[in-house]
Structure 1
């Protein structure tokens, strides 16, 4: 049973390279069923990497609007069972009553951030606007993405793990969390920030994935003004970011990036502009 709860495992493979077959092995990421419950009432089951699960539980609760503050989670107990890991969270009566009224039950598949919603209205819920004070240099964005890549311990072992990061422009530090699911990785970062009493509004969210509407929703709820990702965003995500006042930077590679919304937060300095 131990293997289910390790973030990375080694498996046997048969390799074929340059016309030759050989026995080999490869490290791969683990997926474990993580059951999230509040006051012992089941709410969701997500497939996630079994690491930083308290951060995940806190971030999920905040980004999904279950609680308003990390302090609303009175306790979080991790319990291993045969099928996976239970995150048993305890909340006050007001939060429990709100949960009962929502009647939302979902089973989250890997990479799906909207599984199990009972109506289209929930999937297209209003997105709050974020504050506008932060500005950051283009060079700092590039350094942040490089710093996140250097901290991707699990991905170096497997080449199959997403990362989310939080770049603090004040000192250039980058907080990183990894998971097989990009939504889970972002929830872990949100939870880690909340647990440390830090505001997502003071820095930049970094993602190794594409940007979809769910990631914009989570960033907006957390109050993050800038999100940077390596892949192309969806058109829906671009519209949502524009509406929420979020600066959306994507296609962030070694040679640069593209800004899709609210460009004024990015300072390009003496960079040459061409038509």
Structure 2
């Protein structure tokens, strides 16, 4: 396990106005280098865990990797800061990553190259349905803090609810957290076409595109949805649920999957 946080002394102001010195835990992000077929692909600011899931989820999200079976080998450096993957890829989508990059709206600015064109012409036809009660039950689980969040208060979470298991990943970036949990699902060989993705951040265009590329029919967040996120969800068949909290929620698109 790599070091995910650092302890250091800080001046803490109490509600009484008293100032005292305490030891605090802060998240320790690293520059993680991804290598694809012997060449450096990109570097990502991330916490050094689940790096193999991260690159797999990212490559599938971008359409560079079609299926987990295309992977021939994956290796993580001993210090956790480099990941090498050998795989059969879709060369055109790889070129798109570098032809015209788009800075995403992520909290840790991300880069995507395949936000337009054939990659989002997919349409999710899943007949999957879930009740409102089930959504709020899973939200209670999603709201449980982790040890890393308790120590640092500085991670986003992504949770994939499947028929007989729940997968969870965390990272400083909401995009990274989704890539990690989806890479984890791919590595486990699970079918995400009958699943719900719970995320801690706002529902923007690139978040929806990631779900579409992994065939996820429903996305739920406590946060808001953006106009482009809603538009993309409508056009790709994704059920988008935002402001899901306090037994209330907004269903922005394809509400037929949500049962009363």
State if a TM-score over 0.5 links the two structures.
yes
User: How big is the shift at 1:80?
Assistant: 4.3
| Correspondence for 2:81 | 85
Structure 2 alignment gaps of length 5 or more: none
1:96-148 deviation line (CA, Å, top 9, x unaligned) = 75577447287988623336x4xxxx433341111231000111111112112
User: How big is the shift at 1:40?
Assistant: 1.7
| Correspondence for 1:271 | none
Q: Please show how residues 142-221 of structure 1 align to structure 2 within 5 Å.
A: 142-150=136-144, 152-168=146-162, 170-171=163-164, 173-221=165-213
User: How big is the shift at 1:152?
Assistant: 2.9
| Correspondence for 1:139 | 133
User: How big is the shift at 1:185?
Assistant: 0.4
Cα distance in 2 for partners of 1:96, 1:35 equals: 20
Residue 228 of structure 1: which of 207, 220, 234 is its match? 220
Cα distance in 2 for partners of 1:214, 1:198 equals: 22
User: How big is the shift at 1:197?
Assistant: 0.7
| Correspondence for 1:272 | none
Q: Aligned residues, how many?
A: 254
Cα distance in 1 for partners of 2:145, 2:21 equals: 30
Cα distance in 1 for partners of 2:38, 2:160 equals: 32
1:9-48 deviation line (CA, Å, top 9, x unaligned) = 2222101222211001222222111111112201111111
User: How big is the shift at 1:150?
Assistant: 2.3
Kindly indicate whether the alpha-carbon contact (under 8 Å) linking 1:147 and 1:174 is maintained by their aligned counterparts in 2: no
Structure 1 alignment gaps of length 5 or more: 269-275
Residue 69 of structure 1: which of 67, 70, 87 is its match? 67
Q: SS in structure 1 opposite 2:77? A: strand
| Correspondence for 1:43 | 41
Cα distance in 2 for partners of 1:91, 1:255 equals: 44
| Correspondence for 2:7 | 10
